[in-house]
Structure 1
Amino acid sequence: MKQLKAFKLALVVVSSFMAFSASAAPPPVVTDDPDDEPQHVPSIADDLVRADPSAPLAAHDAAVADIVSDAPFAKVIKNLAEAGRGERLSANSTTDVWALGNYAYTGTFNSPCGGDPDAGIWIWDVRNKTNPEFVGVIQSPTGSRTNDVRVATMGRGDILVHSNEPCAGGPGGYEVYNVEDPLHPVHLASVRIDDPNPLAPLIIAGPVTDVGVHNLWLFSQAGKDYVAVTTETVFGNFHIYDITDPANPMLVSFWGAEELFDPGVVASGDVSRNLDAAIWLFSGFGASQNRFLHDVTITPDGLTAYLANWDAGLVRLDITDVSNPQLVSVAIDPTSEDGEVNSHSVWPNANGSIVVEGEEDFSPFESQFTIDGSGPNAGTYASSEGEITSPIAEEPGAEMSGQTTYVGLACDGASVPAGSGIALIQRGVCAFTVKGGNVIAAGYSGMVVFNDEARGDALVTMGGTAISIPGVFVGHSTGLAIMGVANAADLVIGAGGATITAAVIPNGWSGMRIWSYADPANPILMSTFNTVCSANPTDPSCDPRGTYSSHNVIVEDNKAYISWYSDGVVVLDVSDPVNPVEVARYHRTGSEFETQNAGIQDVWGIYKIPNQPWIYASDRNGGLYILKEYGSGSAKNAKD
C-alpha cells in the first residue's frame, strides 16, 4: 500500500504509487499544476522510452485460468476461527505483523505518527493464544511510521528490524533492535539510506536522500546475517545489508528494475541512459504506473530472492553471491487480472516449484471517456479521473455527460463565460483547484482539463484541494478533438464543443497469480484467483465501504495464507496450480463486530507459525487477531 517521496523528473513532477501502503495507487503523475509549470523537458510523452524488455516474457506466458471463489460465506469459513485477539481499537492504525517465539509484533501506520507514545511496534505476549497481552511499544522515530517489522533468531541473538517512512517529516531507513528480552528491547542501529546512483540528484532535479523503507527481510547465508531492504530510492530499490554485527549494518549490494531496461545503466554513469531508465521506471501498465520494488521474499537457504516489483513484474534473483545479485527471470503478464501488473507480494512453496504472487489495486473502476455522436472525432479516448474532483461513480448513472464549452485556462473567474454542462479547460498557469472553483461559480456541472501543447497527450491525476465537481484530465489532442479544431490557436473561449461522456466501469480490485517455476528461468502463469468481491466490486454481497484487494501472502505446504483487507483472511490450496481452491476463510461483518473492531474488517498483515495451526492477522482497525486453522471438521469454537 505502494513509497517514494514526490520527485521532479527533470522538472516534471512525478509521484510514486505508494505514499502508501493502504492508500490508493494513483496514475503516474499527481500534481496540482503550478509546481509543474516550468519549461517542458524530455518526458514520457516524447517517445524516449525504449522497448519494454518484459514484453517477450509476457508473450510466452501461458493462458490464464481465472478462478473465482464460489462462495465468500461458504462452509470453508468453519475451517478457520478466532482463538483470541489483542485489541488496538484505532482506525487505520495497525500495519504488518510478524512473530518469534512467545511474542508477536505489529506496526503502526500514519496516525498516530512517530512521537506519539502509541506510535511504533506494538509487542504482544502470545503464550496464551486465547488471550494475547499487550506488553509494550518500540517507539517510532519522531515523524515516522513503522510499516513493516521482521524478527528472527540470528548469530547475535533475536534481532528485530522495522522500517521507517515519514508521516510528519521524520527519517526514513530502518532500525535494528535486539529483542532477546522482548520486554526490554535494546536499540542497536539506525540506518539512513540515499539513492545509490550518483546521477539521481541530477536526473530527479534534487537530492534523493534519507528515503523511506517499505519492507524488509531477514536472512542468513554462509555464516553471515543480512537484511534485505525495499528502499524508496529511484534506482536500486533492492538493498542488502550485512548485519552479522547488528550494531554496524554495512551495505553489501543493490539492484533495481532499471537493470531490466538497460543492463549496466547505473554503472555506466551515462546521463542520457540513466534519464531514459528513470522515465521507464515511472511508466508501466494500467492506472498505477511505475516499476518500483514493493516487497521481497528470500528462500530459507538465503540463495534466492523473489522481488514483487510492481509493473516490472515478479523478479527472481540469484543472490548466492550477495555482493552481486544475478537476474534469473521475470514473471509478468499484463493481460492477467485487470490489465494492471502491480506485483505487490510474493511467496514460493517449499521446493520453489510454485510461487504465489499478490497484486494490489485500489482502483476497482476504470475511467472511460468518449466523444459522443457520429462525427469524425467520435470515439473513446484515454483519460484520468481527478483525485480532487467529486467521484464520477457517485454521479447519476455513474457518469458525467453533457455538451462542452471551451472556457480557456479558467484562472480568472471574470474570464470564464457563464454556462452549464461541461467546461473544457486548458491546462496551465493556475492550480486545478482554482480552475474548478471558477467553473463551478460560472454554473458548470463538470469539467474536462486537457493538456497543453508542450506536454502533449501525457496524462496526470489532478491533485490539490478538493472541489465539488466531477472532472477528468485528457491529452492535448483529445481537447482539440472535442472542439473539432486542428490546433490550440483555433480555440475560441465560449465556443461550444462536442457532447462527451466520462464514465467509470468496474474492472475488479485485485487477486492472486499462481506461477509454475518448474523451469526457474521461464516461469509460466498457471492461474489467477479472486474472491467474489475482488472480481466484482458491485456485487451485492460486498460492503461499499470495503477494500477488496489482496494484500500479503505466506505459503506453507502448498497452502497460501492471504490477508485480503475486507475479505479477511483467505486460505487457498495451490497444490494444483491450475485450479487453486479456497479451503478456509476468516471473515466478519455486522454492527457487533464493527463495534468490537473499531470499524469494518480490514486485514493487512499475515503470519503463520511454521508447522502449527496458528495464524496471526493484523487488522488496521482492530489490532491483532489470533486464528486457528482446522482440517475438514468444523471449527465450532477455537477457544475450546
Structure 2
Amino acid sequence: MKKRNLLTSTILAGSLAFAAIPFNVLAHDELGDVNIEKGERQGYSELAVPVLEGSKNLQFLHEAAAPEMKVVRPDGKQNSFGDVFAHKGYAYIGTHTQNGGNGGVRVFDLKDPSNPKEVAVFGNDIPGTWQEKVIVKSVNTPDFKGDLAVVSVQQISRTNPASKGGFLLYDVTNPASPKKLGFYEVTKKTNGTHELYLTMQGNRAIVLAANPYADYYSHGEEKDFQIVDVSNPAKPEKVWEFDPRTLPEIPEDFNGYHWNAPDGKTRPVFNHSTMVDETGKFAYISMWDLGTIIFDISNPQDPKFLGRTDFASNQQGSAHSAALAKGGNVLIETREVYVPVRPGYESSYGYTRIFDIKDKTNPKLLSEFKTDLVDNIENGTTFANTVHDPKVHGNTLYLSHYAGGVRAVDISDPANPVEIGKYVPEKSDIWGVYVDRNFVLASDIGTGLKVLLKNNGSTPQPGTK
C-alpha cells in the first residue's frame, strides 16, 4: 500500500508530465462540431504541481490512503474509474469503459482509513455497459427498508443487441453482500442513464435520472430528465419526464438537442446531471446550455418549473453539475468546458459559478471562481483543465478538477470565493470528490480511490457523529 504523509505546503521539485490514458468514455458533445471523449488525454503540458497545500480548516488535511486498485475481473483486466460516494463508513466507486466496461461498483470498508478493504463488487451484470455513478441512501417505504444503492448503466455501443441502459437498484444494507432488487430501463436509442440522484419524500423513494440525448435519439418518445418512483425497488415506475418545449423561451421546433438561443447562437441542450436538496422538495437539473433548471418536485408527478441560470452570450454554457450551500440559498454550478477555443466565445476552460437562489424564480449570479488552470489554453484540445464536480461541506466547496486534483474553496462569503487548499496526486485525473464526516474521498480515472482525512483524529464508526 502506498502511504504518504502529505501535510506540506512545499512544491514538488521539477515537473510532472502527464501520460495519455486512452479511455473510451462518453463524449458530452457527441452531436456537436467537436468530439472529445473523456479520458482521451491530448496535449498535456508539463506543470509544476504541488502535492498538497492547505490553510484554515484544511491545515490538517492529509492523504490517509491511495490503495492499489486490485483487478477483480475474471479476465484479469482493469477498468478505469468513475464517481465516488460514501455511506455509513463505506466508499462506493463506479467504473468506466476501459477494457470493455462491466466493472460495476466497488465497495471499500473505511473502518481503517489508512487501509481500505475492498469487500464487494456489484452492478456488473449487463453486457456491454459501464457503471459510473452510484448513490446510496437509507430508505424506508412500505416495500423496502434498508440502504438502497442506485447505479447508472450506460451502453458502450447502442448497436450491441445484448446491452441496455438505465439504472440498477441494489440492497446494500450489508455492503459486503449486495442484493439486486431491480432495473429501470430507458430507451435503447440513447446510451442510458449518465447521472442520477436518490431522495426520500415521506415514505416514498424517487430517483431523478439524467439520460443524455434521449429526446433527440428517440424523436421525443422519451425525455432526458425523468422522475422514477422506486418505493418498490423491484418495480421502478416512471412518474414524470421533462419536455424543454414547455419553457416559454424554447420554440416548438426544438429538436431535442440544438437550441436556437435568444443570443443568436445555436446551443446544445441535454440533461447531464440531477440533484435534490435535503428536503426532497427542490430539484436542480443541469441542462448544459439551458443552464441549471430549478423545479419544485413536492408532487413528483407534477413538478413546477421555478427558474434557471443563464449565461453571457460569450460563455459556453456547459452546466455540468450542481451543489447547494448556505441552507439551500446558494447554488454552485460547475461548467465542464473542455474545448476552450470556439468562435464567438471567451477562450477559457470550464469554471465555477455561484448564485444566490433565495428567490428560486430568479437566480442571481454572485461570483465566478476560476482556478489557475482554466486560462491555460495553449494546447486547446484537452479538457483536463476544466472543473468537473462540486461538493459542499459547511463553508468549504470541494471541486474535482481532473489534472488539477481536488480544490478546496472557502465560500463563507459566496460573493468572494477563495481557494484555500488543493490535493493533486501524481498524474492527477480526478473525476469525483465526496465529503463524509472526517473523510474527503476522491476518485482518479486511472488509479481509483484516494482517501483524505480532514484531521488527525480517529475516524468515527458507522452510526456515530
| TM-score bracket for the superposition, by shorter chain length | 0.7 to 0.9
Letter in 2 for 1:212: G
Equivalent runs, 1:86-125 vs 2, <5 Å? 86-88=67-69, 93-114=80-101, 119-125=103-109
Residues 1:24 and 1:209: Cα distance change in structure 2 (over 3 Å): closer
Q: CA deviation at 1:561?
A: 1.2
Please list every run of 5 or more consecutive structure 2 residues that lacks an aligned counterpart in the other structure: 1-22, 36-49, 71-76, 460-465
1:261–1:280 CA contact under 8 A, matched in 2 = no
2:320–2:333 CA contact under 8 A, matched in 1 = yes
Larger RCO (CA under 8 A, 6+ residues apart)? 1
Residue in 2 aligned with 1:584?
A: 421
2:64–2:114 CA contact under 8 A, matched in 1 = yes
Equivalent runs, 1:202-601 vs 2, <5 Å? 209=189, 211-232=191-212, 233-234=214-215, 235=220, 236-261=223-248, 273=252, 276-278=253-255, 281=258, 289-335=267-313, 339-366=315-342, 507-538=347-378, 547-588=384-425, 593=426, 600-601=427-428
2:182–2:235 CA contact under 8 A, matched in 1 = yes
Residue in 1 aligned with 2:433?
A: 606
1:283–1:290 CA contact under 8 A, matched in 2 = no
* In 2, Cα distance between equivalents of 1:73 and 1:180: 35
2:120–2:178 CA contact under 8 A, matched in 1 = no
1:286–1:340 CA contact under 8 A, matched in 2 = no
SS across alignment from 1:278: coil
Residue in 1 aligned with 2:170?
A: 177
Q: CA deviation at 1:121?
A: 0.8
Q: CA deviation at 1:602?
A: 0.5
* In 1, Cα distance between equivalents of 2:224 and 2:363: 23
SS across alignment from 1:296: strand
1:240–1:253 CA contact under 8 A, matched in 2 = yes
Q: CA deviation at 1:227?
A: 1.1
1:359–1:512 CA contact under 8 A, matched in 2 = yes
Q: Which moved more, 1:562-571 or 1:22-31?
A: 22-31
- Decide which structure has greater helix share: 1
* In 1, Cα distance between equivalents of 2:330 and 2:64: 30
2:338–2:383 CA contact under 8 A, matched in 1 = no
Number of equivalences: 398
* In 2, Cα distance between equivalents of 1:80 and 1:546: 27
SS across alignment from 1:258: helix
* In 1, Cα distance between equivalents of 2:110 and 2:264: 42
SS across alignment from 2:194: strand
2:190–2:211 CA contact under 8 A, matched in 1 = no
- The yes-or-no answer on 1:135 pairing with 2:119 is yes
Residues 1:302 and 1:545: Cα distance change in structure 2 (over 3 Å): closer
Residues 1:20 and 1:334: Cα distance change in structure 2 (over 3 Å): farther
Residue in 1 aligned with 2:32?
A: 28
* In 1, Cα distance between equivalents of 2:61 and 2:248: 44
SS across alignment from 1:537: coil
- The yes-or-no answer on 1:625 pairing with 2:447 is no
* In 2, Cα distance between equivalents of 1:124 and 1:517: 36
1:314–1:331 CA contact under 8 A, matched in 2 = yes
* In 2, Cα distance between equivalents of 1:171 and 1:344: 24
Q: CA deviation at 1:537?
A: 3.2
Residue in 2 aligned with 1:149?
A: 134
Q: Deviations over 1:211-249 (max 9, x none)?
A: 510011110112211111112311532211111111111
Q: Deviations over 1:459-511 (max 9, x none)?
A: xxxxxxxxxxxxxxxxxxxxxxxxxxxxxxxxxxxxxxxxxxxxxx9922111
RMSD: 3.3
Output the TM-score relative to the length of structure 2.
Answer: 0.78
Q: CA deviation at 1:583?
A: 1.5
* In 2, Cα distance between equivalents of 1:319 and 1:559: 27
Q: Which moved more, 1:99-108 or 1:77-86?
A: 77-86
Q: Percent identity?
A: 27
